[in-house]
Structures are given as C-alpha cells and as structure tokens.
Structure 1
Amino acid sequence: MDSHSAGRDRAARALLRLESRALRRQVVLPILLGLAALCVTLAGAWLVARLLAALLGHGGAGWPHLAAAAAFALLGAALALAQERAQLAAGEAARARLRDAAFTRLLELGPADPSGIGERASLVVDRVEALDGYFARWIPAAALAMAGPPLVCLAVAWADPGSGVVLGIAGLLYPVAMALTGIGAAQASRRQFEALGRLSGRFLDRMRGLPTLVLFNRQEAEAEALGSAATELRRHTMKVLRVAFLSGTALELLSAGVLACLAWRHRDLLSGGGDPTAAVFSLLLVPAFFAPLRAFAAAYQDRLHAAGAASALAPLLAEPSAPGLLLEEMPPRVVVTFTDVRLSYDPARPPALDGLSFRANAGETLVLAGPSGAGKSSVLRILMGFVRPEAGRVAINGQDAMALRPAELRRLSAYVGQKPHLFRATLRENIRFARPEATPEQVEAAARAAHVLDFAEALPQGLDTLVGEGGWGLSGGQAQRVALARAFLRDAPLVLLDEPTAHLDPGTESLVIESLQRLCLGRTAIIASHSGARARLGRVLEIEAGRVAGAPRVGAAG
C-alpha cells in the first residue's frame, strides 16, 4: 500500500472514530438492548432444556416453566424489535450529522471546489448513505460479537465445562477465518466507491450536456464509455461480494463443525444415558453463540463500505472551517482597494492576477473590462471569499479584507452572475432566497425595482407562479431580472456583477442596465463586463493578463 492510500485510510479511520464518539449515545442503546436480548435467550434456553428433559423423564419441569419460557420468548422478540428500531435511529442520526457537515463544507468552498457536480452529489448522497450501516449495524454488531460469545460460552461452561471449551475454541478460530477471507477487502471496497463516484459524475455531466452530444452525434460513443465505466463498477462490486460470500461460508462451516462436536460429545446422554438437560442446553445455545458472529460477518460489509466512503469524505470534512474575524456591524458604505494583488490557480499556467491594483470608492461603480482570462472574475471571487490572494493586499474601508471570515465577506455583497439559477419554487420564494426574513412588501418592492413585475403580472399566479425545474419556463432575460431582484432585496453595501448583460437581446439589455444603474446607486459596485454598453454603467478599468492595461477612464453617464 502506497503512502497516499495509507494516508487516506488513516484519515478515514480518524473520521469514523470522531463520528462514533459524537454518536456514542445513539449507538450504545442498541448494544445494551442486544445484550439484554441475549440474557433473555440464555434464560429461555435453560427453561426449554428443562422442559425437554422432563419430556424424556428427567426433572420436574411443568406448566409454570412452559409459561416462563413463553414469556421469555415474547420478551426476547420485543427486545429484538426495540434493538432494530434503535439501530435505525442511530443510522438516521449519523446520516443527518454527516450530510449536514458535508453540505456545510461544500457551501463554504463554493465555486473554489475543483470537483465536478456529479462527484459532489455522490459525496453528499451515496457516500453518506454508505456510512449508515457502520453506525446502525457494524458498531453494535462488533460490540455484541465481543461480548455475546463469551457470555454464552460462560453459560454453557456452567452447565457443561467440556462444551464450553468447544465453543471457546470455535470463538478463537473465527477471527482467523475472517482474516483469511477478508484480505484486501477494504481496498476492494474503496475501489468500488471510486468507480461509483466516477460513473455518477460522468453520467450526470453527460445528461446535462445531452443536447450537445446529440448535436455532434456523439451519443453512441458516450453510451459505450458509460458502459465501460459501468463494467468497471460491476467488476469491483463482484470482488466485494466475493468477500461477503467467503466470510459467510467460513462461518457456516464453523457453526456446523461445533454442532457436530457437541452432538458427538453428548450422544450417550441424548440417547437415554442420563439427565440430558446440560446437553440440550449446550446444543440450544450453539445458534445463540454464533448469532452475534453472524451479525458481525453480515455487518462486516457495512464496515468495508464505510471505509471506502469515509476515505472520500475525510478530505472534505477534515479541512477546518476558514478562520477569520466577524463583522461587528454592517458598514453602510465600503471602499475596496486592491494593492499589487497576485493569484494563481495552477503553477503550470500564467497567474490569474499579476500585481493588480485599483480602488473603488464608496458609492462608485467600477467596470472591469478586458478579454476572457484577464482576471475579472478572479477579482469577484476574492471579494466573495472563495479564493485568497497569494500576495498583495485587499482592503475594505482600509482594513485587511482577508482577515474576515469568507462568510462575512459574502455578507457584505450582493452577487449577480451570468446564468442565475432558479430553484423549483415560486417567483416570490426565489426572490426571498436572498433574505428569508423579508416581508411580502419588501419582496414586491425588489421585484418592481428589477422589472420582474413587468412579466410576472402576465403569469398564471403572478409572483406565486411555480418556476424552475418542472415549473413555468422563464427566458434568460427574465431569469436575470429575478437575480437582480434578489440583489435589491439583499440591500448589501457592495454589489458584484459578472457579465450581467451577457446573452441578452438589446431590448432586455436596456431594461437590465436600467435596473443595474438603480441597484448601484449609492452602493459600491464592481462589474465584470464585455458588453458594449459597459461605458453606461460607470468608470471603466481595462485589465489584461491580470494587471491594469492602462489608465482608468470615466465612462459616460447612464
């Protein structure tokens, strides 16, 4: 195993230990219920052994013993049901906790996360789901496998020491059988999850680009590539299943061998040579002895799946939240200053920002102009806290902006991008997304300022019309106006806009520019734009290759 794999395994184990401690109360309950059910099974088995011995003419067991055995059987069933429910609750608690932590980290990373949308979805859904069995089944099964067989062995040894020795030897042989059948199982499970993540990401990406695939007649080639990825996943899955079948077979052979040894040992008693109570008791407890081990073997696959899933989640969850200061209060106006700022995404490529310096005064609209790759979007990413510059200084109101937490930087700004996302919700809810506590009057005022009401009044239910996936379709210009309404409602002192008029027809562009001018009034605004109408928005700063290309010029008034 190479150092990278060893490091991932250590991180995965650390994550599982941390979550196990955090969920200690949830996982201890099914263990206690399982031990209680095992004690009830021991008492019931002794009563049944006495009843069977009485039928063979030994002992004086009668109806009270039969009633007690029936009561123990019902109590054992109730405890087993309670244990199952406690295990389900532990799994639900673990999924909720891990999914919340993973989603929070993904939100903190934002667009700075280099992984694809399919891989991120697989992390939050598939990988977290695979950890359910670790907390719901594996931890209780492992604890009961450690405590249950010795308890049964002691009970059998009390009735018949020789039978207790046989069970003890079987218990010592079981870990050897598991080790022989489980060599390489963790690596196989990790490779299975890696293959699943690759297939999920590729499938989602190709589904989103299906029109492009059909347009270029690449659907058959991509279908073959997806088939190859699915075949790879099947191969890794079969390797994991092979381990499960081998471990199950080893356990069944061991159980059959113990039962045969005990039957041979007690053959004279069972054929009428003496009191068979101890012999029957020993035979009845063979299934109880192996039941925790059988549950352990079944849950072992959950452990393997959890190890593979945790190795993928650990790098995400192990990264601490970005440190920084909190804002004491929201400043009413901001001044943004970049001084010799440098930023690189890839050492093998030219820097995105290479000594960029500029100043955006309070209430000023600054338009960053330049060719694609000049660094305009990188400026916005820094101001939203998604990336940090390698050198230079970024100041807000004269204070180091990078000393703030990224979330605090985002509190300062309202952002409108090229392709705003509309969630499956009403128009009103999509606008209120920027400020959930806003009143209906405030939402309508923002919609009016962004000219959303111009088209919303023609919709079936106005602002309460369902949009997004499966809802009423909106054009690109209409979606852009919804994004502007969010910015109006957010009412932040800093406005960041990335190509807000891209791909719009001239009529819609004029409406959006009018709304932009109203939005930027009295606020500090930084706009990255290729549009020919950029001069109408404010002062234009030409940048090229991550630095100022020339002296800034003042655009005409809009």
Structure 2
Amino acid sequence: MARSKQGGDAASALLQREARAARGRLGLPLALGVAQIVLGIAQAWVIAGLIAGLLGHGAAGWPALGAAAALALVSAGLGVAQERALLAAGEAAKARLRAQAFDRLLALGAADPRPVGERAALVVDRIEALEGFLTRWLPAAALAIAGPILVAGAGFAVDATSGAILLVAALLVPVAMALTGIGAAQASRRQFAALDLLSGRFLDRMRGLPTLVLFRRQEAEAQALGRAAEELRQRTMRVLRVAFLSSASMEALAAGAIACLAIRHAAILGQNHPDPAGALFCLLLVPALFTPLRAFSQAYHERLGARGAAAELAPLLAVPAEGGLVLEEMPRRLVVSFQDVRLTYDPTRPPALDGLSFRVLPGETLVLAGPSGAGKSSVLRLLMGFRRPDSGRISLNGQDATKLAPAELRRLSAYVGQRAHLFRATIRENIALARPEATAAQVEAAAAAARVTDFAKGLPLGLETLVGEGGYGLSGGQAQRVAIARAFLRDTPLVLLDEPTAHLDPGTEAEVLDSLRRLCTGRTAIVASHSRAAQRALGRVLAIEAGRAPGPRMAGE
C-alpha cells in the first residue's frame, strides 16, 4: 500500500512538473479555444434569429445567413489553428521527455535490469500517453471551466431560469465523470502493466527464437504470448467500458438539459412568448455548452492513461543526473589499478568480485581469463562507469576513478564487445558513430587500421555501401572489424574488449586478432576472453576464479 501511494505521488509530481513546463506553449491553443466558444455563442444567436424569422417571428434575410456561414468558417479555421498549435506543443513536450528518458537510460547503461522491450515501451508508448495529458487534458480542463461560464452567462442574459438550467447541467458533468471513473485509473495502470509484459516478452522471445526452436519450446512460448495478449485484451476492454459509460452519462445530461429548456419555453410560448428568438437561442446553447465538456470527458481518459504512464516513467526520470569530476584534458597514457575491489549484484548470491587486485601499465594488454561468471565482464562494467564498487579502490594514474563522472570514464575508453551492433547506414557512417566530428580522412585511416578497407574494396560502393540494421549484408568478422575501426577512431588511452573474437571461425579470428593487436599497441588494454588464441596473442593473462585472482601467468603458459 505504501509503495502504491509513493508511486501515485511520484506520478502526480511528474504530471505537475510537465504541466508547468508546457504552460507557455498552451497559451495560444487556450486563447483559440475561448475564441471558438465565443463564436459558437454568436453563431447560436444568429441561427436562432434565422429560425425565428422562418417561423414568422421577425425577419430573416440573406445577411443573417451569410453571417452564420462566416462564423462557421471562422470557427473551423480557429479549430484547425488550435489543433496545429496543440500538435506543436505536443511534439516539443515529447522531444523533451524522450531526451530526458534517453539520458537516464544511457546513464544507467548496463546497470538497468529492465528488458529491452520494456525500455523501448517506456521511451515510446509511455511518452505518447503523456502527450494526451499535455495537449488534450490540460487545454480541455481549462476550456471546460471557461466554456460553461461563458455559455451560461449568455443564457442568463436572455433568461435567468435558462441560464440556471445550463449551469446546473454543466456542474453535473464532473459528478457523473467521478461516479463512472471510480477505479478507472487503476484499470489503466493494469493495462499498461499488461502491455509492458507483452511487449517485453515478445521482443525477447523473437530475439531468442532460434534457441526456442532448438529446444522445441516454440509452442509453449506461443501459448504464453497468447495468454499475455488475452490479459491485455481484457484489461483494455475494462478501460473502454469506463469510457463508454462516461460518454453515455454525458449524452444523458445533454438530453436532460434540452428537455428542461424545452419544457421551460414551451410553457410560456403558449402565453405569447415575448422573445421567441431568445427561447430558440437558449435551446441552441446546449450544444455550445457540451462541446467543451465532451472534449473534457474524452480527455479525462487521456489523464487516466497518462497517470498510469507517469507511474512507470517517474522512477526512471527520478534517477539523479550524473555527478562527479570532469576531465580537463584527455590523458595520453593511463595506469589502471584494482586494489581489493569487491562488487555484489545480488546480496543472496556470491559476489561478482571478491577482493580483486591487479595493475595494468601503459602499452600493456591484460587478458582476463576464467569461466563464465568469474567476474571478467564486471571489471569492464566498473571501468565504463556502469557500476560502482562496493569496496576497494579503482585508480587511474593514481587517482580514484569513482570520483569521475561515469560519462568521463566512458570517454576514456574504447569498447568492443562480442557482437558489434551496426545501424542501417553506410559503413562510413557506422564507423563515424564513434566520433561524429571526425574528418573523412580520419575515418578512412581508422578503416584501414582495422582492415575494413580490405573487404570494402570488393563492395559496390566501398565505405559508402549501405548495410542493414544489425549489420545485415556483412559477415560476423566484417562487422567486428567495423567495431574495431570505431575503437581506432575514438583513439582513447584505454581499450576494453569483451570476448571480441567469440562466434568467429579460426581463420576470421586470426584476422581480427591481428587488428586487435595493432589497436592495443601503445594503449592500456584489458581483454575479457575465453579464447586460447586471444590469450596467447594479446598479452599477459590473469586468471580469475569466483571474483578473485589466484595469480598471474604469462601469455602462452
């Protein structure tokens, strides 16, 4: 219960903060909305006069008809202008929120335990849901107050009783919405939770589809996905039921207001009504009264959805910005020291690092060897700032590395992992991703150093050849050379390699190891690798077992 209350408070705080941030951009749409309401009142007055004239109460001419048409056109133009202003405000709000969320995800990096699908849903679906709150709920809430006041005031000016009927009908709308909306926010949050489960599970299973087929688990996983989809369908239908019930209550109130006004004016029309046009005007004010209220009712569900989305986003956006020192200049040589470093991911399991100590000098390559789970990748995570040690000291050139901002730690290093991720772009653009400001000559030099140009010469457009998402069109070894070219282009004093030759055949591995040797030359390099060939070729080997280093051995031992 306390956690739920804290989540609700965090969601409310996020929505209030975003409402304040969007206030400046919503001024124009609100002004346009008020102008549209005023035009609707004027249009009702003109049309009432026309109808009264057609019924024999006064004169009805072409000027009045032209005025009604002109008011309708101007009102439509204001509506289009308002939509465009709201769209611009929504795009600006989404861009700001996505930048914040993406910065937090980058700051968390590998420390974020959420699946990829859930992270994608946070940045895409949750922020899309917040757009409805900012661009529909906030303007609709303001206009739902201003509109009925203006319309009821116009009704009071003609007939006090009619104005009172309109005002009472407007006041009953939020009551009806509150009665029909009990539990809707909870239903919306459960819908988002079901969507998270389905999206994350689907993406993870698609990535692991070959493994599922290999172990004949495809049918079981298809059934599990079907159950998750069915749960999402049921929760979506619950939310829709609330929406339809709210709309029905709105239509019932509108019908009741028209009935009351009709009874009121029919009772006195039989007694030679003094103002037939005014009576018709009061009846025609009902659509003008309920237009902003209907928008408010529809946006109410946007608010419920946004509250559920904010509850999911708030913990991510609450992650504090990176703190720490910033480097004045990039050091050209780097000494890396671990002294009795300990790191634990889960208190119920053994530590990932348990008093690990080693030292790597400039120009030296240290190969971390050991079984899976020994702690090799944890060393790289610490050096990239994705985790902080529980105890011990990590020093760079004798200075405490934990005092640096995590982004600065990453600026010191070039990283090559097991599988290089290439984006849908040219080979040149994929290499330049490591340093976008690099010149064409620098990119080509990095490509040559990594031997990318060896295979690029055989491609139709060389480095300008377009590759697909994930490196489609290149072999695993070619994609890995592109990743090495990125590391060459970064030209950092520290090189971190995590199983850089995994999944490569022996011939390709030998070619990649040749590029890696040249990359590590003159730099401080730390390599995590099971490969015997890599351990023999790259440098000093440090065997790690259960997060400890029993003792170093030289390459080839």
CA distance in 2, matches of 1:295, 1:353: 58
> Which residue of the partner structure matches residue 5 of structure 1?
4
Mapped partners of 1:135, 1:99: distance in 2? 14
Give runs of aligned pairs for residues 230-309 of structure 1, distance below 5 A: 230-270=229-269, 272-309=272-309
List runs of 5+ in structure 1 lacking aligned partners. Answer: none
Could you tell me which residue of structure 1 aligns to residue 86 of structure 2?
87
Aligned to 1:535: 536
* Amino acid corresponding to residue 281 of structure 1 in structure 2: F
* 1:198, distance to aligned residue in structure 2 (A): 0.5
Query: How many angstroms apart in 1 are the aligned matches of 2:267 and 2:58?
Result: 18
What pairs up with 1:13-412 in 2 under 5 angstroms? 13-59=12-58, 62-270=61-269, 272-412=272-412
Give how far 1:57 is off: 4.4
Report how far residue 60 of structure 1 moved: 6.0
The amino acid of 2:141's aligned partner reads A
Q: Tell me the distance in 2 between the aligned counterparts of 1:492 and 1:132.
A: 41
Aligned-pair distance for 1:309?
1.1
How far apart in 2 are the matches of 1:275 and 1:124?
A: 58
Matched with 1:547 is 548
| Matched letter for residue 310 of structure 1 | A
Cα 1:462–1:136, aligned 2, differ >3 Å: closer, same or farther?
same
* Structure 2: stretches of 5+ with no match in the other structure: none
Identify if the C-alpha distance between structure 1 residues 556 and 231 changes in structure 2 by more than 3 Å, giving closer, same or farther: closer
Cα shift readout 1:58-86 (whole Å, capped 9, x = no counterpart): 45665544443333222222111211222
Q: Please give the alpha-carbon distance, in whole angstroms, between the structure 1 residues aligned to 2:12 and 2:285.
A: 35
SS of the aligned residue for 1:131 comes to helix
In the TM superposition, 1:343-492 aligns within 5 A as 343-469=343-469, 473-492=473-492
SS of 2:555 mapped into structure 1: coil
Is the contact between residue 90 and residue 136 of structure 1 (CA under 8 Å) also seen in structure 2? yes
CA-CA distance at 1:123 after TM superposition = 1.1
8 Å Cα contact 1:53/1:275 also seen in 2: no
1:441 and 1:273, CA in 2 relative to 1: closer, same or farther beyond 3 A?
closer
Secondary structure class of the residue paired with 1:319: coil
| 2: CA distance, partners of 1:101 / 1:230 | 30
When structure 1 is superposed on structure 2, of 173-182 and 409-418 the one drifting more is 173-182
Pick which of 513-522 and 489-498 moved more: 513-522
Q: 1:212-240 CA distances to partner (integer Å, 9 max, x unpaired)?
A: 22222222221111111111001100110
**Cα–Cα, structure 1 residues 97 and 379, in superposed 2: closer, same or farther, change >3 Å?**
same
Q: Which amino acid aligns with 1:536?
A: A
DSSP 3-state at the match of 2:102 = helix
Contact (CA 8 Å) 1:326, 1:405: kept in 2 or not?
yes
Deviation at 1:524, TM superposition (A): 0.8
Cα distance in 2 between the residues matched to 1:102 and 1:141: 27
Q: Which runs of 4+ in 1 moved over 6 A?
A: none
Q: Distance in 1 between matches of 2:213 and 2:358?
A: 46
Q: CA deviation at 1:54?
A: 3.7
Aligned residues: CA RMSD: 1.8
1:35 and 1:177 mapped to 2: Cα distance? Answer: 24
Greater alpha carbon shift after TM alignment, 427-436 vs 194-203: 427-436
For residues 239-286 of structure 1, what are the alpha-carbon distances to aligned partners after superposition, in whole Å with 9 as ceiling and x for unaligned?
A: 100100111111111110110000000004545533212211111101
Q: Tell me the CA shift for residue 460 of structure 1.
A: 2.3
Structure 2 vs 1, CA of residues 502 and 67 (structure 1 numbering), >3 Å: closer, same or farther? closer
Deviation at 1:504, TM superposition (A): 2.3
Secondary structure of the 1:83 match is helix
CA distance in 2, matches of 1:55, 1:480: 82
Of stretches 298-307 and 262-271 in structure 1, the one that deviates more from structure 2 is: 262-271
Q: Is the 8 A contact 1:466 1:472 kept in 2?
A: no
Residue 502 (structure 1) shift: 2.1
Q: Any idea what SS the aligned residue of 1:273 has?
A: coil
Return the alpha-carbon distance in structure 1 between the equivalents of residues 248 and 47 of structure 2.
Answer: 29
Q: TM-score, normalised by structure 2?
A: 0.96
Answer whether contact 2:336 2:394 (CA < 8 A) is retained. Answer: yes
Instruction: Give distance in 2, aligned partners of 1:164 and 1:153.
Output: 5
The answer on whether the counterparts of 2:422 and 2:470 sit within 8 Å (CA) in structure 1 is no
Aligned-pair CA distance for 1:386: 0.5
- Count of residues in Structure 1 that have an aligned counterpart in Structure 2: 555
Residues 341 and 354 in structure 1, CA contact (< 8 A), matched pair in contact too: yes
Aligned equivalents of 1:338, 1:524: Cα separation in 2? 14
The answer as to whether partners of 2:367 and 2:541 remain within 8 angstroms in 1 is: yes
Does the Cα contact within 8 Å between 1:344 and 1:351 map onto a contact in 2?
Answer: yes
How far is the alpha carbon of 1:468 from its aligned partner? Answer: 3.1
Distance 1:385 1:350 in 2: 22
Q: Secondary structure at the match of 2:333?
A: coil
Amino acid at match of 2:376: K
CA contact (8 A) 1:352 1:373 kept: yes
Mapped to 1, the partners of 2:99 and 2:35 lie a distance apart of 33
After superposing the two structures, state which structure 1 stretch, 243-252 or 469-478, moved more.
Answer: 469-478
Counterpart contact for 2:414–2:496, Cα < 8 Å: yes
* TM-score between both structures, scaled by the size of structure 1: 0.96
CA distance in 2, matches of 1:329, 1:500: 29
Question: What is the deviation of 1:49?
Answer: 2.5
Q: Match for 2:355: what amino acid?
A: G
Q: Deviations over 1:406-462 (max 9, x none)?
A: 111111000011111111112111111111122222222111211222222222222
Distance 2:383 2:478 in 1: 27
Q: Which amino acid aligns with 2:223?
A: E
- Percent of residue pairs bearing the same amino acid type: 69
Give the letter for the 2:337 counterpart.
T
d(CA) in 2 for partners of 1:236 and 1:187? 10
